[in-house]
Structure 1
């Protein structure tokens, strides 16, 4: 039995790969993108199994209209993939207010809009899956990506809350966290005028690594697309799906470091409890690490 998917940001990268693979195996895809002509080759090959619509996720009214139209036209949608994204590559001072707004409006607000627009329809069905594409940068950070991280950490917080709220309706939500992958996303990053003050900082080191090609991109985009499809096929609904050895290693190191710092402040954390309350005993002693 075929599955019906709704995917944003399908002109390139993971969105395009997912669309190609799903159509090739017989599924139906509602593919949305800013320039629908970018998928005319797939439309010619697969006909009505590919439903195309122009969509800019920064336009709230358009998001509502397109999502509703897709559900009504296709008679229901099984999987929503919120994939459209934008990036700005610059230090915190170099980035303009306009660039900041664009990345937040696309990655954070745009993703929220897509999920919120889909939820009434998924609730009415009594079932459905949502895949929110984030990145390793939704749990850890790298220099020169501060505003990208702001958007990805934000959408992960939103999705973690939403997943608990919508589970009683039979709707599963998974945050997908790909690592560094050669999808063309890097070449599409917005840049900003370079401030010489940051020349001898980690921001400049990462900028040079991207420029000279030494920034490692260890992951296979086709394998990542397949892993996302396999997750849906399996019926499993983990909250997060790390994809890439770099994602696994970097996020784990970040979590371990954060937990160690968190534990180091145990005494001061408990010290501010009101005097009229009994202070609870901690579940573990400071320095007790269960992760190795």
Structure 2
């Protein structure tokens, strides 16, 4: 039996992960924000599911929940940093408050969670961290600048972290799902107030998607959750886990384009090197 700590267990991937793990007999500490949103999990699995209310923008709350989870279970094998949402709109359309909250939730909150669990994972001799990112952690589209900033940021953090904690037997995997049929797109995304000047620009594309509600992701969230669970058995831990053919195609195109841009500067890059006397 494996023990898990999952943030945002009330919906989306967190909900799918929790249900699949509890069904197979694992133990889950699942965090939530909205009262009553995980009551059904507590009722169905009273012995193996522990609910913990948490807002990941609350530093003291993160430490309290993490310490309590490890104290109650003795050992937590896998930590899933999943809580987050999408803030959409052109950069100019966003308010300072929206920018601050997006970063505090998706980036700073994830960093604080991971920092809080590291002493526990080291003391117990290892474990696994799954950091939920997105295809938007490798690709950037107009209208999602702040969301991309948080996902690119957490990928850089997790990438460096993996090398730091590998000597302690702690594996880190960055999960990069494409569009999934969860409530993220039409339930968890926040759309900034419109500035008309952007109506005819590429940034307006995401506004049309969120207001028209005519598209849905290609990904099956249950199958994606199953793939995340299966990745925990891989040794060594996969550094990245790409989920969805749309994610794979978009990431491959983006990386190929960036590599071409860099290779075009192979000679000119060296022109700024110091001359050897």
**TM class by smaller structure:** over 0.9
Match of 1:283 in 2: none
Distance 2:95 2:210 in 1: 21
> What corresponds to 1:290 in structure 2?
none
Displacement after TM superposition at 1:88 (Å): 0.8
1:191-247 deviation line (CA, Å, top 9, x unaligned): 122111111111113322343345451111111001001111344411100001111
* C-alpha distance in 2 between matches for 1:125 and 1:19: 23
Which residue number in structure 2 is paired with residue 54 of structure 1? 53
Partner of 1:37: 36
Moved more, 48-57 or 112-121: 48-57
SS in 2 for 1:190: strand
| Separation in structure 1 between the aligned mates of residue 235 and residue 223 of structure 2, nearest angstrom | 19
Q: 1:36: Cα distance to partner?
A: 4.9
Q: Are residues 216 and 261 of structure 1, via their aligned partners in 2, closer, same or farther at CA, if it must alter by over 3 Å?
A: farther
In structure 2, the CA distance between the partners of 1:65 and 1:31, relative to structure 1 (3 Å rule), is same
Displacement after TM superposition at 1:115 (Å): 0.4
Distance in 2 separating the partners of 1:8 and 1:199: 36
Deviation at 1:46, TM superposition (A): 0.8
SS of the equivalent of 1:202 reads coil
Give 1:154 deviation, angstroms. Answer: 0.2
Contact 1:36 1:53 in 2 (8 A): no
Partner in structure 1 of residue 263 of structure 2: 263
CA contact (8 A) 1:134 1:177 kept: yes
* 1:37 shift after superposition: 2.0
Q: Distance in 2 between matches of 1:215 and 1:60?
A: 36
Q: Distance in 2 between matches of 1:55 and 1:48?
A: 21
Contact 1:206 1:215 in 2 (8 A): no
Mapped pair 1:83 → 2:82: yes
Deviations 1:263-290 (A, max 9, x none): 111222100111126xxxxxxxxxxxxx
Write the distance in 2 (CA, Å) between the matches of 1:235 and 1:195.
Answer: 49
TM-score under structure 2 length normalisation? 0.97
Specify every segment of 5 or more residues in structure 2 that has no aligned partner in the other structure, as ranges: none
When the two structures are superposed, what TM-score results if normalisation uses the length of structure 1? 0.92
Match of 1:136 in 2: 135
> Is the 2:191–2:207 contact (alpha carbons within 8 Å) kept by the matching residues of 1?
no
Distance 1:77 1:152 in 2: 25
Structure 2 match to 1:180:
179
SS in 1 for 2:175: strand
5+ residue gaps in structure 1?
278-292
Residues 123-178 of structure 1 deviation map (CA, whole Å, 9 limit, x = unaligned): 00111000000000000012211100000000000000000000000000000001
Match of 1:248 in 2: 248
Give the corresponding residue for 1:65.
64
**Contact 2:131 2:172 (8 Å CA) reproduced:** yes
**Partners of 2:143 and 2:205 within 8 A in 1:** no
Larger radius of gyration: 1
Which residue of 2 is the match for residue 156 of structure 1?
A: 155
Instruction: Please report the RMSD computed on the Cα atoms of aligned residues, expressed in angstroms.
Output: 1.2
Q: 1:37 to 1:230 in 2, by over 3 A?
A: same
Aligned residues: 276
1:95 aligns with 2:94: yes
| 1:95-125 Cα deviation digits (max 9, x unpaired) | 1011111110001000001100000000001
Q: Which moved more, 1:196-205 or 1:118-127?
A: 196-205
Does 1:202 find its partner at 2:202?
yes
State the partner residue of 1:285. none
**2:191 aligned with 1:191:** yes
**Quick one: distance in 1 between partners of 2:35 and 2:122?**
29
SS in structure 2 at match of 1:81? strand
Query: SS where residue 51 of structure 2 aligns?
Result: strand
Structure-2 separation of matches of 1:65 and 1:201: 45
